[in-house]
Amino acid sequence: MKIQPNVRKAMLVAALATVTATAWATSDSSPAASSMHAAVTTTQEPKITVEVQRLPEDVRIQAEVMDVLVNNPRLAGRIAVEARDAVVTLSGYTITAGQARHAADDAGRVTGVRYVRNEIHPMLRGSI
């Protein structure tokens, strides 16, 4: 079915006019919408607010120190980490005294740590 050019143009203009009229009718900037808005007050529901809760500083420090120690291949043993008022206490044992010092050094490099109390006991008295 072949449509004549004049009919085709008329159909395109009609479609464009329909889309434009629909967009104009639904926009808030139209004269009809602004006069209706003045006459009718609408209540807007509050938007949802999402708050990101931050970890307490000691919990963050403890988690970061544990992460650093777990990912250190130079350490072997069992180390407990406690943080209170930005003071980190390390307890437990390592194989050597050198590993205990490395653990304390690594813990001291974590952001926010003020002091490291090293209570780690080496199982052997030397260092590697």
Between β-strands 87-94 and 77-84, what pairing exists: parallel, antiparallel or unpaired?
antiparallel
Say what the pLDDT of residue 124 is.
77
| CA-based torsion, 55, 59, 64, 66: positive or negative | negative
**What whole-number distance in Å separates Cα of residue 77 and Cα of residue 121?**
10
pLDDT at residue number 92: 95
Gyration radius of the chain's alpha carbons: 35
Q: Averaged in consecutive runs of 10 residues, what is the pLDDT profile of the chain (128 residues)?
A: 62 67 60 52 71 81 95 93 95 94 96 96 71
Residue 47 pLDDT: 78
Please tell me the predicted confidence (pLDDT) of residue 55: 75
